[in-house]
Amino acid sequence: MQQVHVEAAGDAVVAPGELLAEVERLVSAGARFTTMVCLDEGLEFEIIYLFQKQTLELVNLRVRIAKDEELPSISGILLGAVLMENEIKEFFGVKIINLVIDFQGRMLLEAESPKTPLLKVKANSKQPGGGQ
């Protein structure tokens, strides 16, 4: 087989409200979920959805939401995303709603573990999040 060379990932910023429609579109075009990355940007979260096309290159969808805003889950469309969404919910406290399987913030963390350990700045405050 030929080596596949993948050029730089395609990037697109979408509004939270259009997320589901956009994901639907990508999926119907044959793309599949790779992963999600959540970044704490102070007042907002930036969440990157990485998709892989059948030609193997990556497509990124970037969503920015305020810290107390709700984000619809894409697990209804792509079951494969459910663990990652739970993880982000648990690590950052992102309010992801309509999860297909909801671990209620207890997927990886035990009751005694620090809460939202990867959150750096809490919503409406400047205090650092968990993780000592």
Partner 1 sequence: MARVTFPFGPQHPVLPEAIQLQLTCEDERVVEVLPVVGYMHRGIEKAAERNPYSHNVFLCERICGICSFIHALCYCELVESMTKIKAPPRAKYLRTIWSELSRIHSHMLWLGLLADSFGFESLFMQCWRAREIILDTLEMTTGQRVIQSTCTIGGVRCDIDSEMKPEVHRQMKAFKKELEAIYPVFARDYTVKARLVGKGVLPKEQAWSLGTVGPVLRGSGWAYDARMLGYAAYDELEFEPVVENGCDAYARMMVRLREVVQSVELVVKALDRMPDGELAVTARRFPEGEGIIRVEQPRGELVEYARGNGTVRLERLKVRTPTFSNIPALLLMLPGCEVADVPVITLSIDPCIACTER
Partner 2 sequence: MGFLARARVKSPWILHYCTGGCNGCDIEILACLTPLYDVERFGILNIGNPKHADILMITGPVNWRSRHVLRNLYEQTPDPKVVIAIGVCAATGGVFHNCYNVLGGVDKVVPVDVYVRGCAARPEAIIDGVVMALQKLEAKKSGGVSYAAGAR
Partner 3 sequence: MSGEQLITLLIFLPAVVALGGLVLKGAAAQRVVFVPAMVALMVAAAALALQVLPREALTFTPPVGWENVVAVLKYALIAYFLYVGITARNGLVLGLAGFLAVLLPVVQFGVLGGHVAVEPVFYADVLAVIMCLVISVVGGLIVVYATDYMPAHEAHFKLAEPVRTRQPQFFFWFVLFLGAMNGLVLANSLPWLFFFWEVTTLCCYQLIRHDLTDEARGNALRALWMNLIGSVAMVVGIGLAYNSAGTLSIQDLISGGSAPLVLLPLALFCLTGFTKAAQVPFQSWLLGAMVAPTPVSALLHSSTMVKAGVYLVLRLAPGYADTSLSLLVALFGAFVFMVTSLLAIGQSISKRVLAYSTIASLGLIVCCAGINTELALAAGIALIIFHAVSKGMLFMAVGVVEQQIGSRDIEDMDGLVARMPLLTVAAVIGMLSMLFLPFGVAFAKWAAIGAAGALAGGYIAVVAFLAIGSAAALVFWSKWLGRMLGEVPVVADEKKPVSAYGSVLLLVVGAVGLSIFVAPLVAALIQPALSTMGYSQAFDVSGWHLRTAIGVFPPWALFLAVTAAVLLPALFARGYRGDLDPVYLCGVNVNGGSVQFTGMAGKPVLVTAGGAYWKQWFGESRLTPASNWIAVLLLVALFAGVVLR
Binding site for partner 2 (CB under 8 A): 108-114, 117, 130-132
Q: Are 31 and 47 in contact (CB under 8 A)?
A: no
Q: How far is the CB of 51 from partner 1 (least distance, A)?
A: 9
Binding site for partner 1 (CB under 8 A): 1, 3-6, 9, 27, 32-35, 37, 39-40, 48, 50, 56, 58, 78-84, 91, 101, 106-110, 117-118, 131
Contact 132, 120 (CB under 8 A): no
Minimum gap (Å) between residue 44 Cβ and partner 3: 28
Residue from 110, 125, 127, 132 that binds partner 3 (CB under 8 A)? Answer: 110
- With binding defined as CB under 8 A, does residue 7 bind partner 3? no
Distance of CA 56 to CAs 17, 51, 80, 94, Å? 27, 9, 17, 29
* Distance in angstroms (rounded) separating the CA atoms of residues 104 and 79: 17
Chain positions contacting partner 3, by CB under 8 A: 103-107, 110-111
